[in-house]
Amino acid sequence: MNDDPVALGQALRHWRDRTSPKDLGLPLGGVRRAPGLRREELAQLAGVSVDYVVRLERGRATSPSPQVLASLARGLRLSETERDHLYLLAGQAPPTTGQVSPHVPPSVQRLLEQLHGSPLSVHDAAWNLVSWNPLWAALMGDPSPWRGKERNIAWRHFTHLPTRVTHTPDQQNRFETALVSDLRSSAARYPKDAHLTALITSLRSASDRFDGLWDSHAVGFHTTDSKTVHHPDLGLVTVDCDTLTIPGNDLRIAICSAPPATTTADQFALLGAIGTQALGTVKRTGLSRSRW
């Protein structure tokens, strides 16, 4: 398995040229020399710098990480076969059926984009954060700076990393039990996934609560439940949260919702307008929301 930077760059340019900004909900933004995505747009979608995209396409960047490749595949809406080809061109082993995959199929991505009025996040079978929409970032805080285990929901919760979310004792018990039970099921389905095994080992060492729940073999399920989000500008935001599982690839989609004509629904509308900017900044600059 050898990397081919030149062929990788050619493939990325081809996939970028064929991807319509309109299909991704991006503004057309004036005259375009080509119908596809601009490098700046791909960089934004994949969470990498424009310079890095340029170096990849010109064959000057070698050995992109699996995380970067997964982000590029999502941004370019690659099929599973195309994603595997991308990994091979980059000298990486494609995700196998025995490993947790972060791949979001294009059909699922389109579905998620139609739910732009609700904060949502996408996670793989190990509860690593894979993707999110602007409303989720505005509500929960921008996760872009998170790296490594910081992007894992179980790690963040059980090691008490900063969060805007609080639960009642009953809500917390249900959430923790469901999360541990879900990870145990994933470990059984993906016994060859070294990252998942290492995560569970680290959690058992770092958290007595996780270790106790793991040893107790407690069983729980993610059901509709309420959460309280402490937003720095809006104050308390009470949301209902549902977790959906996509069959076939074990993606978890966490969707926050609110009944119509409620205070929370009004707060969602305001969050859609201000994005991750502070209210004072928006009033001074008139900044608009970012797009997924």
Q: What is the pLDDT of residue 47?
A: 82
What angle do helix axes 169-189 and 208-216 make, rounded to 10 degrees?
60
- Examine the pLDDT at 30 and tell me if it is beyond 80: no
pTM of the shown model: 0.69
Domains of the chain in sequence order: 5-89 (1.10.260.40), 106-285 (3.30.450.180)
- Examine the pLDDT at 230 and tell me if it is beyond 50: yes
- Compute the distance between CA of residue 120 and CA of residue 134 in angstroms, rounded to an integer: 9
- Model pLDDT for residues 145-197, shown as the tens digit of each residue: 898 899 999 999 999 999 999 999 999 999 999 999 999 989 988 888 899 99
* Predicted confidence band of residue 56 (pLDDT cuts 50, 70, 90): very high
Residue with tokens 């107790």: 216
> Which of the listed ranges 15-24, 27-36, 71-80, 252-261 does the model predict with the highest average pLDDT?
252-261
Q: What is the pLDDT of residue 189?
A: 85
- Compute the distance between CA of residue 218 and CA of residue 177 in angstroms, rounded to an integer: 6
- Examine the pLDDT at 26 and tell me if it is beyond 70: no
